[in-house]
Chain A
Amino acid sequence: MKAILTVVGNDKVGIIAKVSVKLAEMNINILDISQTIMQNIFTMIMLVDTDKSSYKIEEISGQLEEIAKEMGVEIRLQHEGIFNSMHRI
């Protein structure tokens, strides 16, 4: 499935690196990426494709949650459909 991965939290060195390495390990492809600092908060949005990954969605979220705890940020992985249905008619 195509999913939106969001990382929100205090900026520090290596957030994108950590997340990208973990995604590569799980064979998850990054299709699009945007990152910015909004009101001093680090905000990264990725569009990823999990189809080729052998991990279940719960396992992927679990692995990302470990990084989230380690880096003190919030990471969420959600099916792209939820955003499309909310914002596109």
Chain B
Amino acid sequence: MLNRWEILETLHMFSDENLDIRTVTMGISLRDCSGDDINKLCGKIYDKITKKAGKLVSECEKISAEYGIPIINKRISVTPIALVADGCEGDFTKIARTLDRAAKNTGVNFIGGYSALVHKGFTPGDKKLISSIPQALAETERLCSSVNVGSTKAGINMDAVRIMGNIICDASVRTKDKGCIGPAKLVVFCNAVEDNPFMAGAFHGIGEGECVINVGVSGPGVVQNAIKKLGKDAPLNEVAEVIKKTAFKITRMGQLVAGEASKRLGAEFGIVDLSLAPTPAVGDSVAYILEEMGIGTCGTHGTTAALAMLNDAVKKGGIMASSSVGGLSGAFIPVSEDAGMIAAAKCGALSVEKLEAMTSVCSVGLDMIVVPGDTSPEVISAIIADEAAIGMVNCKTTAVRIIPAIGKKVGEVLEFGGLLGSGPIMPLNTFASGDFVNRGGRIPAPLHSLKN
């Protein structure tokens, strides 16, 4: 029998520390839907998604009731649409609307995979899909999009980087009446992973099986409280140990739910993602973990070191707790989705430059950062290039999800609401780098990509 303290500890995690399963994401392969007729393609896509994921939401709700574990999001990821629709004539936004409709029918809150993988070059389908992204995001509610522009093996496709600066600005303009929500659902990756359960960057990779369940856990509040109990004088190696033990427990819960969900849904169990995912709720912040570790305000000197240790300890604790770990697996630092990050950005302690440094030691990149509405596409492309370079050289995933707030300036706030939170508009370095970005071409892969 379990002892009283163990039971109460678990209870406390749910009732007071916001522990939850952040997402159960069903990855569905759409490879068998390909064809050259876009109407037939859309029909097949809709049928397949609604059939495979028809019970996703109801089964997750049953698991939630039985185990007493909140499962916050139920989501779907699909094969990158540029691959599925490469041979198709016609307007790709029709596919976007189909995916959105399938998401609404199945009751999931996001569907990811309106994506293209162009780290080395474009096919005609890739180009068509990328140019349709702003309109696709403007016409849909639940669709998420991503583009992989670089990898350690292939280098960085700077033509894609240049184009994505324009696409992000365009997506923001086309959704300016909806709080510039478009670019909040668009991620530009380097080294994108194939089994990521988290939005907006989830897609079902081409090496994946037919139907897979991937799970992302949360738990910044639990980690923060565990460190708090340790006291202010404990040395960092002891702090790391406590984080490891806590991450183990959190991940075990993810493993349990992932196994149960895949069994009930007749899908393969994919991975548990070990990321600590924050929300704007009080007590669910990665920034506050760093502050609990002793950083005065997130973003000041020492933040990168604290984050590096946190990220590493979470992985070490989580790795043994799950039979299969994958996805992004690291601490997320989305500014608008983390109460501590929002506060730090507002008071000026946290800058975009510091965030860039932080992304070199944690997953996943410059995430949910709101910038002035008059930021030029070249500047955004240059930010993407910097971030992709960090990912490429360090053999890790990096991403940019940046939102130009149309009509707003530094010091104002852009409200998204819900899980996306609210983002203070952060200043950028305004010196020019357009000539660099506009060269286009490719940044060759680094020497250490030649491992064979």
Residues of A within 8 A of B (CB): 1, 3-4, 6, 8, 32, 34, 36, 43, 45, 47, 57-58, 61, 74, 76-79, 81-88
Does B66 contact A57, Cβ atoms closer than 8 Å?
yes
Nearest chain B CB to A69 CB, angstrom units: 16
**Chain A residues whose C-beta falls within 8 Å of the C-beta of B62 in the assembled complex:** 57
**Chain B residues whose C-beta falls within 8 Å of the C-beta of A4 in the assembled complex:** 2, 7
For the complex, give the distance between the alpha carbons of A74 and B16 in Å.
12
For the complex, give the distance between the alpha carbons of A87 and B10 in Å.
9
Residues of B within 8 A of A (CB): 1-2, 4, 6-11, 14-15, 62, 65-69, 249, 252-253, 255-256
**Chain A residues whose C-beta falls within 8 Å of the C-beta of B256 in the assembled complex:** 81-82, 85
Does A79 contact B67, Cβ atoms closer than 8 Å?
yes
Q: Which of A45, A79, A86, A87 contacts B68 (CB 8 A)?
A: A79
For the complex, give the distance between the alpha carbons of A74 and B66 in Å.
17
For the complex, give the distance between the alpha carbons of A57 and B255 in Å.
22
For the complex, give the distance between the alpha carbons of A34 and B253 in Å.
24
For the complex, give the distance between the alpha carbons of A29 and B118 in Å.
59
Does A83 contact B8, Cβ atoms closer than 8 Å?
no
**Chain A residues whose C-beta falls within 8 Å of the C-beta of B252 in the assembled complex:** 85-86
Which residue, B1, B67, B69, has most C-beta atoms of chain A within 10 A?
Answer: B67
Nearest chain A CB to B248 CB, angstrom units: 9
The residue of chain A having its C-beta at the shortest distance from the C-beta of B260 within the complex is: A81
Does B69 contact A82, Cβ atoms closer than 8 Å?
yes
**Chain B residues whose C-beta falls within 8 Å of the C-beta of A1 in the assembled complex:** 66
A-B contact pairs, 14 of them (CB 8 A): A6-B11, A45-B4, A57-B65, A78-B66, A78-B67, A78-B68, A78-B69, A79-B68, A81-B67, A83-B10, A84-B2, A85-B253, A85-B255, A86-B249
The residue of chain A having its C-beta at the shortest distance from the C-beta of B3 within the complex is: A87
**Chain A residues whose C-beta falls within 8 Å of the C-beta of B11 in the assembled complex:** 6, 8, 76
- CB contact under 8 A between A86 and B65, given known A36-B4, A43-B8, A47-B1: no
For the complex, give the distance between the alpha carbons of A47 and B253 in Å.
19
Nearest chain B CB to A39 CB, angstrom units: 11
- CB contact under 8 A between A32 and B67, given known A45-B7, A74-B15, A85-B256: no
**Chain A residues whose C-beta falls within 8 Å of the C-beta of B4 in the assembled complex:** 34, 36, 43, 45
Does A82 contact B67, Cβ atoms closer than 8 Å?
yes
Nearest chain B CB to A31 CB, angstrom units: 9
Nearest chain A CB to B318 CB, angstrom units: 13
Nearest chain A CB to B245 CB, angstrom units: 11
Does A87 contact B249, Cβ atoms closer than 8 Å?
yes
Q: Which of A6, A77, A82 contacts B253 (CB 8 A)?
A: A82
For the complex, give the distance between the alpha carbons of A43 and B3 in Å.
13
- CB contact under 8 A between A77 and B68, given known A84-B2, A85-B256: yes
